[in-house]
Structures are given as structure tokens and as C-alpha cells.
Structure 1
């Protein structure tokens, strides 16, 4: 989840969460290594259509502001002191594509598919969703956009997203029923399963920025003023595991279902781009693992982080499997690397299975967390190249 101060563009994770993620459980160095590794090469390092972007804590310099339509590789260098994110914003302020977790002193290649139009390129030091920006103009007709396999992949992925949202609503309804009965044991049992569908498609859900903070905000990410309007899964999580009672929290269960219903109602009009939404979204899902699940900060009270971890990985794998026919043709070695590393992460997760779920994450020690982080790191490197391969 990614709550930030309210703005017109979609909502993303606050910097406080990023900072805490890097300090928890002794995996700070591992997480930063992972994020840097994943950022090293989104596409082809030698791409002739690359555009240099220099980000600092208070500037965003773009080498070229008139671009041809189609695949563009932004070579983003963070010369500031804070973790930065780079965004491509539509004229209405909504995010077309973004790249998070660009550490100080690091460089990333970020591949984007740009239709003709005008955009803003924003560099956000501290990942607040705010910062200096540059206007760019994209003109002409993109080449190579007629691959019917990508069209089918996007359609199939939309169907997958809708199915995952339906699953989320169905399981959340059972969870809320238990909350309304103040059946703490049953609600605890149903809490993690209710979140699986959401976690599998979270980057898509975050396209509707007003919904994400309502259903998935964590208390640690909110200012005192924002806590007054706190709602969603994690509020109920805290009540169940810390307070031991959800009596008086019935309205929050109803509100959670209502917000998810709003999300479902918006899905028919959703359009998904194979590069900007699918391939980049798979990378975002792995970043979710790196900055929330591996560190144990996502499920602070319930310690059900491994359930979310598996859902994020499953969601990323689904994207890859849909795009795999194209990837195999354009970069067979990348397809092999992704197959191998997805398999390695999944095999490692199997060690922590318990019944229909996973062991409590507070029982996973520092060394084992590092092994999980290393496996995610190994997967992150080839996954960061997925967008570039699809856009070739």
C-alpha cells in the first residue's frame, strides 16, 4: 500500500515507510542492495533512444524534451541525498508510468511506451509524490505496436485483475461478517486470505489512487491529522491482534467493502499497457516484497507477511507468464533467467508453509529473512529487464 498526503495524482507509499523498511530486522543493507540491483537495467543499456535524467533533492533535469512516440528509455541518475522516484504524468496529473526506489548515487534505466501527447516528468526526492518536473512533448506514431500477442496478454491480464478483485470482495465479506460478530478468532483466520487478491494486483489497484489509502493504509505511514480518517484492513488488523476486540469497529468493515465495491465498479473502463502497466507493474510487485514483506513491516500486528509475499510473487509471475511468448522470442536468456529465479523464490517460500498458509513472520529469523531477500534480489535483476524486452 502507498498512502501519501492527498494530491490530484494517484497515491503512493510515503517516505516514512521506505525509511522504516530499511531499518527493520537487520536487513537494511540487503534491501538497499536489492533495490539498486533491480534498478540497474530496465532495458538495453546501449539504447539509442535513451534520454538522460538527472535528479537531485530539488531538481529534475531532462536532456531532451521533444521525443518520438514509442519506446523510450529514461536513464535516471540520482545525484541527491534521498531515495528518489521518477514519474511520467499525464496532463490530468495521473501517473502513466513510474519508477520507485532510486537510491542516492544510483542509476536506473526505465523503459516506457509513450503515445503522442504532452507529459510531465517528475522527480520526487523522498518519494512524496511531489517535486520538480519538466514538460515534454511526444509526437509521431509508435512503431511495432501491432503485436496481437501483447493485445491478448493485456486483455487476459484485465480478466485476471477483475477475477482477483472479485475474490478479494468475496473473502473480505466473510472477514467483515466475523468482525461484525466480534468473533476475533474467526476474523484473524480470515484476515490474511481476504488480502491475497488485492496483493496480487496491487499496482493496478493503485491506479485508482483514492481507493488505495482507504483500504490499505498502515498507521505508521500516516500523520496525526491523517490518522483521524484512517480506515481499511490494517485498522482492523490492529484491533484484532493488539486490542483483542473489534467491538465498535463494524462501520470500518462496511466501509472496507464499500470502497472495494467502488474499485470493482471502475474496472470495466480500465485500460492496461503491456509495458507501462504489466511489465512495470510486475517490478512494482517485487518492490512491494522488498520494502514491506521481507522487512516485516507490512503486517505489523498479525505477522502474516508471507501470505502477502506469496501473493505479490504470484501476481508478478502471472504478468510474466502472459508476456512470456513475446519474451522468449525477443530474449530467450531472459525468459530462462526469469523461469529459474521465480522457481527459486517459490521453492524457498515452500519451506515456510503451514497448513493452508504460512508461519508467523515474527518466527522467521534474521538469517532466514536475508535468504528471502537474496532470492528476491536474484529475481529482481532479470525482472527489471522485462519491460525493455517487451518494448523491443
Structure 2
């Protein structure tokens, strides 16, 4: 789940307002291999260059603001090439991506909401480096995996919607968590489109001003907290299916590269750390551990596809990643209520100490996983 985006009209107005209060400078063109220095603050986003050659690009990000920020490389239509969410105040992060020739924007989104402050980025020429055929296969296999997950999600969402439309509270509650598994495994791909996630997976505290609350979590609240299914919920159930079918048809058009796979795997762990471990994601149903497991599985799938190349470039890294994935999965298995399925204990039954143990295991995996993108493009 990511913070929602503003509408196009509001976004333009917001961008104009931000431009009026801050200057976003671009100093000089980068040389091949040079990093782009990105300095984010509460009302600015300064970048060190306006253009880079096609191929690998590295963003050296520093957040000098008082709010957590998100930094993205965007296509002109707001599709995401690569991103890093939740960069805390006073912290730094290195983001590695691959870009083809064309026009892009680098966006900083203070508070991880809204249109943000943006810099134009021109990518020139074409990369002369030939990509490892194993990486091309990894991308193709991951694209197939993402499509499979979307294809499997829609019928599960339809089952969830049918139960709501039938007014069957118990059946709807039972169908809720399974309908989210495929989405949670491949969420970075869905998020790359920009407009689907806010409609399907936004929590109440992630809404933009004037945004109508729709999607899974709106229905989750109705089922578990309000204990009612009315006409509005039945309409929203149909809308959820429609939005997920939109996602299903667009998955094949997603911009996927080896580095976006690696960064996406890290983003899935960040999703766990900021939403699932805290119990904020599924706050009404307490089915957070289902989402947690799906996020880990999606991250592991991307890693396993990239591992043949990453292991040659950095065998110590892949050894550590294997170790930490095993440790986290073993820990999660302690909370299963069936041996091989997706039934987990209700997260409100997980103690503070147990949550700390889960958090520590996530952090132990997230640290080496943050190095995967650099390892696959060495």
C-alpha cells in the first residue's frame, strides 16, 4: 500500500504552488557512471544534473527535511521507473535503476503524499553495454509471474465481491485475505502505474484531501468494524473487481528491468516494516500476517530470478540473502495455523515481543536486499 496520488488537475495546481515557494535547480550534465545527487526537503527537490546517458543510473538521495519522503524516477505519464519510499529525515539512500533514452522526471514527495516537487531529467543516446542474457530471462520470467498473480487475483476478488453482494458477512470475511495475496506478492508492479493502488489498497490515513475511500480497506472496515454490508459496500465491491481487472490488463505493459525487480523486492520488505509489522495495514481484520507472507514471497521470487547473476557478481551477498530469507520464513511458519496454507494467527494476538522479533528479522533481510540492485548491474 502506498500513499494516494492527487488528481491530474490538483497535481498541476500543487506543482505550481510548490514551484512558487522553492527553486528546483539542475546544475550540470552527468558523465557516464556519475551519480545524480538528490537533496530532498519539505518543499524542495534539488538534483545535481539535468541529463544522463542511457543505461544504469544511480541516485544518491539525502533527505534534509523534517518529514519522511519518497523519491521516484517517473515516465511522463506518471508510470514509475523506480522508487524508494519512506526515506526518513536526516537519512540517505542509494537507488540504482536502468533508463532508456527519453524524457523523465525525478520526484520528491515529502510526507509521501501528493504530486511532490519534480525535476526534469533527459536521458540521452543509448546504452552501448550488452545486458547479460540471464537478466533478460529474469525479466521475462518475472513478467510472467506478475501476470500469473494478477490472473489468479481477479477470480478471488470476484468471490469476495459475490459474498458482499449476497450480504454474507462471514463468507466475505473469509474471502478477504486470500483475495489480496497475488496483489501483495507483486505490489511494486501495480504501484508503477500510479493510479491503480490508490483506488484499491489505500488506508483511511493515506487518503488525499477530497479523495473518496474505495478498495479493500474500505470494505475491510465495513466487515470487521461496522459489521454491516449496505448498498454502498456492494457498489464498492464491484468497483474493486473492475479496478483489479484494469490492473490485470496492464501488467504486461509494466516497465520491468533487473534493477526495478531488485528495488521492488526491497520495497516489499519496506511494506512489511512500515505496515504489516506495525499492524496498521489490516487494522480491522488483523490478517496482516497473510499480507506479510505474500510480500516476502514476492520479494523472494524476484531475488531467486536475479540470483544466477547476482551470485557471480557478489557471492557473499547472495549467501547472506539465502540465510536471511530462510530465517524470516522459518519465523513466519511459527504463526501458521495450518501447515502449508495461508491461515495465520490473528495479528492482534501477536505480542509486543513477538512483533519485535518479526521486525528484527525483516530488518536483517532488508539490509542486504538493499544491495541487490547494485549487484545485478556490476
TM-score norm. by structure 2 comes to 0.88
1:390 corresponds to 2:376: yes
Match of 2:216 among 224, 227, 233: 233
Separation in 2, partners of 1:67, 1:323:
26
Indicate the residue corresponding to 1:330 in structure 2: 313
The 1:365/1:326 distance shift into structure 2, 3 A limit, reads same
Which deviations, in whole Å up to 9, do the C-alpha atoms of 1:54-82 show, x marking residues without a partner? Answer: 22222222223332222122111112211
My pick for the range that moved more, 367-376 or 121-130, is: 121-130
Partners of 1:60 and 1:133 within 8 A in 2: yes
For residue 177 of structure 2, give the secondary structure of its aligned residue in structure 1.
helix
**Native 8 Å contact 1:53 1:76 kept in 2:** yes
Q: 1:292 to 1:340 in 2, by over 3 A?
A: same
Secondary structure of the corresponding residue to residue 354 of structure 1: coil
Correspondence for 1:193: 178
Show the 5 A alignment for 1:82-93: 82-93=67-78
Match of 2:258 among 269, 274, 287: 274
Change (3 A) 1:5 1:67: closer
Deviation string 1:343-379 (CA, Å, 9 cap, x unpaired) is 1110110111112410000011111111111100000
Aligned partner of 1:294 in structure 2 is 277
| 1:199-226 residue CA offsets vs partner (Å, 9 max, x unmatched) | 1111101122222122212223225632
Change in 2 beyond 3 A, CA 1:5/1:91: closer
Please give the per-residue CA displacement for 1:305-358, whole angstroms capped at 9, x wherever unaligned: 000000000000000011110111111111111101111110110111112410
Query: 97-106 vs 194-203, which deviates more?
Result: 97-106
More divergent stretch after superposition (347-356 vs 114-123): 114-123
The Cα of 1:268 is off from its aligned counterpart by 3.4
Q: What is the aligned partner in structure 2 of residue 32 from structure 1?
A: none
Task: Give the count of matched residue pairs.
Answer: 353
**Is contact 1:113-1:391 (8 Å) kept?**
no
Q: Higher RCO, 1 or 2 (CA under 8 Å, sep at least 6)? A: 1
| 1:225 counterpart SS class | coil
8 Å contact from structure 1 (residues 54, 77) kept in 2: yes
Aligned mates of 1:72, 1:210 — CA distance in 2? 25
The corresponding residue for 2:45 is: 60
Unaligned runs of 5+ in 2: 12-31
Match in the other structure for 1:156: 141
Question: How far, CA to CA, are the matches of 1:175 and 1:105 in structure 2?
Answer: 43
RMSD over aligned Cα atoms? 2.0
Shift of 1:129: 4.1
Taking the TM superposition and a 5 Å limit, the aligned residue runs for 1:1-392 are 1-8=1-8, 49-222=34-207, 225-226=210-211, 229-248=212-231, 249-276=233-260, 278-355=261-338, 356=341, 357-392=343-378
Unaligned 5+ segments in structure 1 are 12-46
Q: 1:123 to 1:255 in 2, by over 3 A?
A: closer
